[in-house]
Amino acid sequence: MKSLYTVILLLLRLGMRIASLFDSKASLFVTGRKDLLKNLSQAIGDRPGPVVWFHCASLGEFEQARPLIEMLKNESPQFKILLTFFSPSGYEIRKNYSFADFVFYLPWDTASNAKRFVTIAKPVLAIFVKYEFWHYYARELKQRNIPLLSVSSIFRSSQLFFKSYGGFYRNILKNFSHFFVQNEESTKLLKSIGIDQCTLAGDTRFDRVMSIVQQNATIDIVRQFKGENHCWVIGSSWPEDLDVFLPLIHENTGNLKFIIAPHEIDEGTLAGIEKLLEVPSVRFSKAGKEAEDATVLVVDTIGHLSKLYQYGEFAYVGGAFGKGLHNILEAACYGIPVFFGNRNYEKYQEAVDLIMRGGAFEISDYADLKKKYELLISRPENYLLACEVTQYYVKQNLGATEVIMKYCRGLLK
């Protein structure tokens, strides 16, 4: 099985090199790893000190690591933070993150890369987020007695770790010092394969989204755009999501405002959205006084979405009609009902929980969206209950960061 693992990674590496000739993201993935270990050695050599290594796959996992990084750095500034990403979508956006002393891509998981990387970084603690389980890195850290934690991790019985033929992957998990998981099912699954070093801590994203709410950062142009109107915030949208939403927008001109934050903000995507709209729209970066006359605000910048949800009475989060639902907690933390597609959300614990409690609604098409939306607005008590559910759910799940940090403090003394 180890040979198969190595072959799969080699094929992925080759595929990425070929894709880099045609795709900009793949090109960033490849070029970002050029002379990586040499650059890492030079960077860390210039700034000595004990290193804590955080590894995230991409931007979503970074948001889970962020509360831990910032609490650790505020409490113990003598520690240097090494932050690595597997994906360009995380690295390119957070390569200048102020709380990290070093930000790099993660080299491919090979025996030689793992040995050289750990030798250069010399971490006193490594923290991998959610689904990051790399054989050679985990083995190298274990051999050097460097604690390796998995945080905000979540497991399902369908994963290879829990199959009769998954021994190789189970051994990867056994190189971890401790798991801080999101739900009770994950704890039971780990214990079923003989891993007892696990704690039900929850998801650190709850702490992250609550910190955003507490910042109370207003955006004047959005407030001007919204005025006294009710507003839908459509976050991380894909074309499939907008296909469902366009009729609602066109049928409610003058009654509602809409903020559309597409997942991709290239010019082609933005122009395509504007072409589909039959109502006045304005781009976020260009909005001025005329924004109050627009029905739709099209967000063409990165980093604002988590603060835009505060202006919504309703939220729709994209992705579930495609590869997977995006972050709904950013909306839920403002205590508003959350809608999303019905095809690919089941693996997201918060989505399942909020549907069961009545704070979130999965939809199949426009007719379903309209029906569930009208059910809320026709009876104020229904709307208020959904708001209370989302708000309480977030508050109920706060505290994962402190649980994990308590363990880390003991390791770092």
Same domain, 293 and 309: yes
Mean pLDDT of the chain: 94
Residue with tokens 């993150």: 97
Same domain, 191 and 231: no
Amino acid at 275: K
Same domain, 133 and 267: no
Condensed to tens digits (0 to 9), the pLDDT of residues 310-336 reads 999 999 999 999 999 999 999 999 999
Same domain, 295 and 308: yes
Same domain, 163 and 229: no
In the 8-state DSSP scheme, what is residue 325?
A: -
- Is residue 1 a part of any domain in this protein? no
Residue with tokens 């934690």: 149
With a cut of 90, say whether residue 84 has pLDDT above it.
Answer: yes
Condensed to tens digits (0 to 9), the pLDDT of residues 344-387 reads 999 898 999 999 999 999 999 999 999 999 999 999 999 999 99
Domain range spanning residue 406?
32-203+398-412
* Start-to-end Cα distance in the chain: 38
Domain of 38, CATH number, reads 3.40.50.11720
Amino acid at 400: A
Same domain, 149 and 196: yes
Same domain, 253 and 187: no
With a cut of 90, say whether residue 407 has pLDDT above it.
Answer: yes
Same domain, 145 and 103: yes
pLDDT of residue 123: 96
Joined together, the tokens standing for residue 232 give: 């839908």
Same domain, 286 and 144: no
pLDDT of residue 289: 83
DSSP-derived secondary structure for 344-358: S-TT-HHHHHHHHHT
Condensed to tens digits (0 to 9), the pLDDT of residues 114-169 reads 999 999 999 999 999 999 999 999 999 999 999 999 999 999 999 999 999 999 99
Condensed to tens digits (0 to 9), the pLDDT of residues 19-72 reads 889 988 889 999 999 999 999 999 998 677 899 999 999 998 999 999 999 999
Looking at the DSSP bridge assignments, the partners of residue 360 are 338
Same domain, 131 and 79: yes
Domain of 285, CATH number, reads 3.40.50.2000
Same domain, 134 and 268: no
Same domain, 143 and 56: yes
For the CA atoms of the chain, what is the radius of gyration? 22
